[in-house]
Amino acid sequence: MAPPALSTTATVILTPINTPSPSPTPYTPFYATAMVDNLRLRPNPGYLFPALRMLQQNTSLLVLGQAPGSEWIIVQMPSNESGWVFAKLLVSDHPLDLIPFIQPEDVQLVKGHVVDANNHAVTGVQFAITQGQGTDAPRNDAMTDANGDFYAFMPLTASGEWYVSYVTIACTSNLMDANCNWKSGAATQPEPAGIFITLPQEEPLEFTWK
């Protein structure tokens, strides 16, 4: 008599495989050129920092990174000296807005945030940070970025009372149309239009566009 057939049902155990996330592409510095004569190379981002060098038009500069706010770019000269220049005065075949962010050292920060009545970020709003009055009064400027934030980098020696005030709005702002006209049909401004602060400033400033 033949032995009974054996059941050979197999059990398959699936082991999940952890797929590694792709590594970010390492940043490869590229070159940009100065668009104007007497482009100021500064030790830190901001108009209150003195010029280390005056660069001539078409000077080739190695792009190393950008400060938060995307208005200032740190570059390296052919002499290997590094410093910060205003981003809109550079031209390159590469997109300057995609370079990595670098936090500046030896600065204090005045930061602000601008939103509309619906709590949406407002871009392209320029503020001045001034101390005192007159044409020679110390002044720094900063413009809101894609998140509605502006970053004004100040020297560590800056102290006392300063006035942060709305100056203008760029044609590239999300409040303007392609012809640089107000989408709302009428000029408006942030509230408050200006505010006094005392350095060092700890909390971000809040503005509402109305």
Query: What would the pLDDT profile of 181-198 be if each residue is shown by its tens digit?
Result: 999 888 899 999 999 999
Residue with the bigger pLDDT between 14 and 34: it is 34
Residue with tokens 């980098």: 153
Position 26 scores a pLDDT of 86
Residue with tokens 């280390």: 52
Report the percentage of the chain scoring pLDDT > 90: 80
Specify the fold of 30-98: SH3 type barrels. (2.30.30)
Amino acid at 122: V
Q: Is the pLDDT of residue 175 over 80?
A: yes
Position 14 scores a pLDDT of 40
Q: Does domain 107-209 have CATH number 2.60.40.10?
A: yes
| Residue 11 confidence class, pLDDT cut points 50, 70, 90 | very low
Collapsing DSSP states into helix, strand and coil, what is residue 121? strand
Q: Would you kindly state where each structural domain of the chain is located, as residue ranges? A: 30-98, 107-209
Q: What is the DSSP string of 46-115?
A: STTSPPSEEEPTT-EEEEEEE-TTSSEEEEE-TTS-EEEEEGGGEE-SS-GGGSPB---SSEEEEEEEEE
pTM: 0.85
Task: Output the CA–CA distances (angstroms, integers) from residue 12 to 6, 19, 66, 75, in the order listed.
Answer: 19, 21, 53, 58
Mean pLDDT for all residues in the chain: 90
Helix spans in 148-201 (H): none
